[in-house]
Structure 1
Amino acid sequence: MVRPPSTDDPTATDPGWVDEVLFAGRSSDVCLSLPDPVDRATLRRLVTAAQERLTAAGLRSGGAVALRLPPSLAYVVNLLATWRAGGQAILLDHRLTDHEVDRALERLTPQVVVAPVRTGGGALRVFVDVTEGVTPYADRPAVSGHAVIQLSSGSTGPSKVIGRTAADLVAEVHRYTRIDGVALPGERIVLLPSMVHVLGLVGGLLYGLHAGVELVPPQRLSGDAVLAAIAAADSPATVLGVPFHIGLVTATRPDGPLPQFRRMTTGGELVPAAVARAFTDRFGVPLGNMYGMTEVGVIGTDLHGRHRPSITPAPGIEVREVGGELHVSCPASPYVGLTDPTRWSAGWLHTRDAGTVDPDTGLVTVRGRLDSQVSVGGMKVDLTEVETTVAELTGVAAAVVVWDNGITAYVQPDGPLSEEALDTLLAERLAGYKRPRTLHLLDQLPRTTTGKLVRSVDALRTAATP
């Protein structure tokens, strides 16, 4: 077993971990299919060449590289090359605006920026062809010794700057190997989430490289393309995505049996029971549930769908309930800059998720955001319950329920639907004090760059303004 890098310094980055943990398999093994197969020997050569380009542009050990690349072979190669050179990788989602990127660069001062100079492929391509440009930016060391800097999803407010060490990443990769139900060596992961964010980065790319699991992004972000990727080889396949992707897959009827389809695993938001039932009824395979955060990675899983909506804490992760909030063990603050004691203190990350921990089984039940608990006329209402009820109605594609001087529902219809009809349906299913006082029907609910529904009241108000 490979030892994680030394943690004597909580921000220590040992570049040797890339070769030891990610490149330890056989050179001839295919690790990526884009759709042309890329074996480990080819990937090593590409990473070595990219490392030389980054160094020539000014990257030094202890410096940082900002990657503003769409999902692509270029992204994978430059990410691994940055780490192999002893640098910090700042992951900037390619869908961020220039203003957002400029603010991040001014704060994080990378030595080098890698961005596309040419991109091929349509907008719905999951992986695209990229010719990257490597540009010097600032002659300064990285703002911290973390191996990776990520921005939180921003679904509930401004993004946070989060750092994770090489030791954190290695520990999480090994944690995946001990989770019951993950893809095994020789199998495939059909990868849908972005590798800029933690599920696609660690649960897909890093775990796949370490464990000898082939990553197979579909050609396009559509249900037909996902099913085609599953059927493209005889080896077992796990689909890895977020709840948004369940609808894409479930809405597509396969042309024939898919014996290769092992399971689908989703992270991110809670999955409504009706959505889970629709998926399992269609495909007859488990819909696995994964709960995690950018700050610590995977926290718990139920990959066989046995305990929905509860999960089992991941190996090496401790979860406790404090005043109705879930806290997760986290030895050092993951935040870059001043530490907010309401987010992290004394070795515990405050998730701001409501939940319970069963004292007998250890199962964790996540009940949604802590701020989803409101009082209406002295009666407690869980906005997550209201939102789930709205989202499960016929004719509703997606819904967000927030408190805005009263319970307010923002609804994206799936076909003809009026506010009057919606209110009538809710009157049959929710007590009067739980029902939304205000309903907004939107052609498209706002989402973050990772596909999560935005829950910021200001952003939702803006989206609903004619």
Structure 2
Amino acid sequence: MDRPTENLTAQDPAWVDDVLLAGPATDICLRLPEAVDRGTLRQLVGDAQTRLAAAGLRPGGAAALRLPPSLAYVVNLLATWRSGAQAILLDHRLTDHEVDRALQRLTPQVVVAPVRTGGGALRIFVDVTEGVTAHSAQPAVSGHAVIQLSSGSTGPSKVIGRTAADLVAEVHRYTRIDGVALPGERIILLPSMVHVLGLVGGLLYGLHANVELVPPERLGGDAILAAIRAQDTPATVLGVPFHIGLLASTRADGPLPQLKRMTTGGELVPAATAQAFADRFGVPLGNMYGMTEVGVIGTDLYGRHRPSIMPAPGIEVREVGGELRVSCPASPYVGLSDPSRWADGWLHTRDAGTVDPATGLVTVKGRLDSQVSVGGLKVDLTEVEATLTGLPGVAAAVVVYDDGITAYVQPDGPLSEEVLEKLLAERLAGYKRPRTLHLVDQLPRTTTGKLVRAVPVLRAAAP
């Protein structure tokens, strides 16, 4: 795109054609599993624009998309933007109550939702026939191109807006990161495209850079390996730590010469897990740090700096009073004025961390509220959590402070509290060890696969 992008608005739809849909009509951009070329995608987007306009969508308005990952989702998202309107992304797993609250607050002109869905519960991309219904005649509540709800891993969801200029800038940022999938290669996409990693790091970057987007047919290790093997071109697996377990538990029947790397966002992967992945598959497990508010912040795609990351091009990170802050020219929050979250061009991440003045490397040390005092001694709950997740027989763990250090542990096979306490006693000082241990069959996770850290939710999950 040669035109300046700094002042792009949702009402300037040309960026969709310039940045996302340009290219030869015969180039394959999606495999769902049927191949979709750019000419077909452009035609489908145009048809969807007509349907959205007939239902009442106007430039400057908004369309709420309550669709599962599907070709219908991709088409209606691009059609909304191409119509000069705002896209409100509602995860299809939200309850009717949650959706109604969002619609009352954000007043879209139209709502796009499934009329029929097929393909099975474990399908990553499903077959959807969508319907479009009128909802209001009001304009969008803001000038953002996209509205997303935060994952809510530590509390209530926030309403976050990003401008067209911001999205385009992040897409271009990806093109300058060493280690991302290159033109002519493939992204095996595992996270949802409703959320920032799958949306920008997967869909938008893939369309812009001529990288084929290939969701596996099902959410399972065998299906992921099959997707990697399906073509001869290099493949990068994009997911979150939850997906590492899917691959680790699956027997790779022969070499995988197409596999280039796996890149994970979300929680930091323990060093032992990363090394085990590299030993097994012979490729690096890359790490990506980001937030819904700004997208990708930093990466370590070759696994050279673990647990640190290098800020992405065009991103500035500071450490102020032990908190990481990220450059962000305008507040990303819709209807929220909270200087503890954003002020003076800086996003307060509420993550603890450091920035090396010599190398610029950023080390994320967990949430600020993970630092607690026990008997006058400082304890970092992320250290306790990392120790737990590194123990044999532990699939996942969350450590919080709830009238004392409390650990919620999801076993990977037979495990008892007595065994856990013995192993921890060998590895952690007494004041750091959990006062209470809960073994749970399945730790609660957000719709993006992140472990939930809200104490009431964790208490409800415990036996």
Query: With structure 2 as the length reference, what TM-score do the two structures score?
Result: 0.99
Report the Cα offset of residue 14 of structure 1.
Answer: 1.4
CA distance in structure 1 between the aligned counterparts of 2:215 and 2:10, rounded to whole angstroms: 32
1:266 corresponds to which residue?
264
Structure 2 SS opposite 1:201: helix
What letter corresponds to residue 242 of structure 2 in structure 1?
F
1:2 to 2:17 alignment: no
Give the Cα–Cα distance (whole angstroms) in 2 for the partners of residues 39 and 456 of structure 1. 43
CA displacement at 1:327 relative to structure 2:
0.2
Match of 2:292 in 1: 294
**Inter-partner Cα distance in structure 2 for 1:339 and 1:63:** 23
Q: Which amino acid aligns with 2:85?
A: G
Whole-Å separation in 1 of the counterparts to 2:346 and 2:424: 39
Percent identity, aligned pairs only, is: 84
Q: Matched residues in 1 for 2:36 and 2:16: separation?
A: 17
Aligned to 2:40: 42
Matches within 5 A, 1:160-309: 160-309=158-307
Note if contact 1:5-1:13 (Cα within 8 Å) is conserved in structure 2. Answer: no
Out of 42, 57, 61, the residue aligned to residue 59 of structure 2 is 61
Matches of 1:301 and 1:263 in 2, distance apart? 13
1:358 maps to: 356
Alpha-carbon distance, 1:2 to partner? 3.3
Maintained 8 Å contact 1:5/1:14: no
CA deviation digits over 1:122-162, x for unaligned, max 9?
11100000010100001100000100000001000000000
Q: Deviations over 1:405-451 (max 9, x none)?
A: 11000011111111111111111111100000000111111111111
Q: Is the 8 A contact 1:4 1:17 kept in 2?
A: no
Partner secondary structure for residue 290 of structure 2: strand
Q: Is the 8 A contact 1:324 1:354 kept in 2?
A: yes
Q: Give, in whole Å, the separation in 1 of the partners of 2:205 and 2:455.
A: 36
Aligned residue type for 1:51: Q
Q: Out of 79, 96, 101, which is 1:103 matched to?
A: 101
**Partner AA of 2:402 in structure 1:** D
Counterpart Cα distance in 2 of 1:25 and 1:314: 26
1:389 corresponds to: 387
Instruction: Tell me the distance in 1 between the aligned counterparts of 2:221 and 2:250.
Output: 5
Give, in angstroms, the shift of residue 463 of structure 1: 1.3
Q: 1:120 aligns with which of 111, 118, 121?
A: 118
Q: What's 2:377 paired with?
A: 379
Question: Is the 1:21–1:170 contact (alpha carbons within 8 Å) kept by the matching residues of 2?
Answer: yes
SS of equivalent residue, structure 1 residue 207: helix
Q: How much has 1:338 moved relative to structure 2?
A: 2.6
Q: In structure 2, which of residues 137, 141, 154 is the aligned counterpart of residue 143 of structure 1?
A: 141
Q: Distance in 1 between matches of 2:182 and 2:40?
A: 22
Partner of 1:421: 419
| 1:330-345 alignment, distance < 5 Å | 330-345=328-343
Question: Could you tell me which of 79, 83, 88 is aligned with 1:90?
Answer: 88
Counterpart code for 1:172 = E
Contact 2:86 2:143 in 1 (8 A): yes
CA contact (8 A) 2:70 2:125 kept: yes
For residues 280 and 13 of structure 1, the distance between their equivalents in structure 2, rounded to whole angstroms, comes to 45
45-54 or 271-280, which deviates more? 271-280
8 Å CA contact 1:6–1:12 kept in 2: the answer is no
Question: Once structures 1 and 2 are overlaid, which stretch shifts more, 385-394 or 53-62?
Answer: 385-394
Q: Distance in 1 between matches of 2:327 and 2:3?
A: 21
Q: C-alpha separation between the residues in 2 aligned to 1:74 and 1:375?
A: 50
Report how far residue 275 of structure 1 moved: 1.3
CA distance in 2, matches of 1:66, 1:241: 25
- Give the C-alpha shift of residue 5 in structure 1: 3.3
SS in 2 for 1:387: helix
SS at match of 1:459: helix
Superposition deviation, residue 6 in structure 1: 4.5
Deviations 1:4-54 (A, max 9, x none): 5352x8x55411000000011111100000000000000000000000000
For 1:252 and 1:367, how far apart are their aligned partners in 2?
A: 31
Residue by residue over 1:304-342, the C-alpha shift from the partner in whole angstroms, topping out at 9 and shown as x without a partner, is: 111011101000000000000000000000000132100
Q: How many residues align?
A: 463
Q: Counterpart of 2:397 in structure 1: which amino acid?
A: A
Structure 1: stretches of 5+ with no match in the other structure: none
Partners in 1 of 2:5 and 2:83 — Cα distance? 15
Structure 1 residues 176, 158: CA separation in 2 closer, same or farther (over 3 Å shift)? same
Given residue 98 of structure 2, which amino acid in structure 1 is its aligned partner? E
Native 8 Å contact 1:151 1:160 kept in 2 = yes
Q: For 2:430 and 2:120, how far apart are their aligned partners in 1?
A: 47
Secondary structure at the residue paired with 1:200?
helix
> Separation in 2 of the partners of 1:37 and 1:2?
29
**Equivalent pair of 1:25/1:40 in contact (CA under 8 Å):** yes
Instruction: Could you list the structure 1 runs, at least 4 aligned residues long, displaced by more than 4 angstroms after superposition.
Output: none
C-alpha deviations, 1:228-275, integer Å up to 9, x for none?
100000000000000111111122121111111000000011111121
Aligned partner of 2:460 among 450, 459, 462: 462
Q: Residues of 2 paired with 1:279 and 1:258: CA distance?
A: 13
Match of 1:62, SS state, is coil
**CA distance in structure 2 between the partners assigned to 1:195 and 1:109 by the alignment:** 22
Residue identity in the other structure for 1:56: A
Give yes or no for the alignment of 1:51 onto 2:31. Answer: no
The alignment partner of 1:249 has SS state of helix
- By how many angstroms is 1:118 displaced? 0.6
Native 8 Å contact 2:399 2:405 kept in 1: yes
Is 1:154 equivalent to 2:148 in the alignment?
no
The aligned amino acid for 1:400 is V
Paired residue type of 2:411: P
RMSD between superposed Cα atoms in Å? 0.9
1:78 aligned to which of 59, 76, 93: 76
Point out where structure 2 has 5 or more consecutive residues left out of the alignment.
none
SS of the residue corresponding to residue 189 of structure 1 reads: strand
